[in-house]
Amino acid sequence: MIIDIHTHVCNKKIWKEYQKESGGAVEKIIAIPYFDKNSQDIPRIPDVEELLEFTDSEPSIFSLGSINMDSDLESQLARHEELLREDRIVGIKLYTGYQYFYPHDEKVIRIGKLCGKYKRPLIFHIGDCFDPEDRAILKYAHPIHIDDLAKLCPETNIVISHFGFPYFLETGNVVASNENVYVDISAVMVEFDTPEATRKLQEQYRDDLRRVFTYFPIIKNRVMFGTDFAGENTPLKFVQPYIELIRAFLDEEQQKNAFYKLAEKLYFK
């Protein structure tokens, strides 16, 4: 059993591409919306309502919520509480670096408490931002700020996406220090211009993970499988290399955790 906790599969076409790429090895996936569907930066990713129209009719695909921190919080909290209550979303994703707020912001704590109440995780895009328009501010996306939030919301499970690329050691430190913080390995292995460059990137990620797992072996128990798959015509087109990575680093029990046990505990219990 494998669950992919981080994809941007948002229509039937991308879902077909995903199934082809994964060779049918992945049974369940989580699709992630963007806070603003009109964004010029990431035009392909729909917002929550638009994504739900797709995932509601796909039994193997589950949606996250996402709150736009620049617009009215009260109405969005109310809507997300409704969606959590009806099990139509399995967590909430926030984009700190794109929207200029820290994870320990008072507003985030309110969202964190809502997630805690419904026992669903709060997920953050952490680390480097895909940002063709040069708008993101990296300090907000640094993993160190998750440490404060984890302590302010001890009842809430928190997920750091993309292993906080490129802040792997800092991410490892924060995960190791907080039992309620988890991490996914998605998105680091994108397709570069040449096969050689792509291969080197995959090797470098292995080397970096080897280093962080050596320093913080405990976090091997809190790693989850995720790909960030966004379609076969995008740089985020890989599934198998992430499966191989999990198999290369983790023992049998840790692999079960990474492939589905943690996902079931955090998103589906």
In angstroms, give the least distance from the CB of 236 to Zn ion. 8
In angstroms, give the least distance from the CB of 42 to Zn ion. 9
* Residue 147 or 228 with smaller CB distance to Zn ion: 228
* Residue 132 or 195 with smaller CB distance to Zn ion: 132
8-state DSSP, 33: -
* Residue 8 or 145 with smaller CB distance to Zn ion: 8
CA neighbours closer than 13 Å in the CB half-sphere of residue 152:
17
* Residue 36 or 228 with smaller CB distance to Zn ion: 228
Max distance between CA atoms of the chain, in angstroms, equals 49
Q: What is the number of helices (H) and of strands (E) in the chain?
A: 11, 8
* Residue 170 or 228 with smaller CB distance to Zn ion: 228
Which range, of 36-44, 63-71, 134-142, 227-235, touches Zn ion by CB under 5 A? 227-235
* Residue 95 or 216 with smaller CB distance to Zn ion: 95
The alpha carbons of the chain give a radius of gyration, in whole angstroms, of: 17
CA angle in degrees (0–180, nearest 5) for 48-31-254: 140
In angstroms, give the least distance from the CB of 137 to Zn ion. 18
CA angle in degrees (0–180, nearest 5) for 116-119-124: 65
228 binds Zn ion (CB under 5 A): yes
**Is 194 in a helix, a strand, or coil?**
coil
Which H helix or E strand runs over 131? none
Cis amide bond preceding 143, omega within 30:
no
Site string for Zn ion, 178-217 (x = CB under 5 A): ----------------------------------------
* Residue 157 or 161 with smaller CB distance to Zn ion: 161
Q: Which residue is nearest to Zn ion (CB)?
A: 228
In angstroms, give the least distance from the CB of 253 to Zn ion. 27
In angstroms, give the least distance from the CB of 146 to Zn ion. 17
Give all strands of the β-sheet with 181-184 in edge-to-edge order.
3-7, 28-31, 61-66, 89-94, 122-124, 158-160, 181-184, 223-224
In angstroms, give the least distance from the CB of 261 to Zn ion. 22
In angstroms, give the least distance from the CB of 262 to Zn ion. 18
Residue count at the site for Zn ion (CB under 5 A)? 1
| Ranges assigned E (strand) in 32-189 | 61-66, 89-94, 122-124, 158-160, 181-184
Which range, of 56-64, 66-74, 114-122, 228-236, touches Zn ion by CB under 5 A? 228-236
**Which residues in this chain contact Zn ion in the complex, by CB under 5 A?**
228
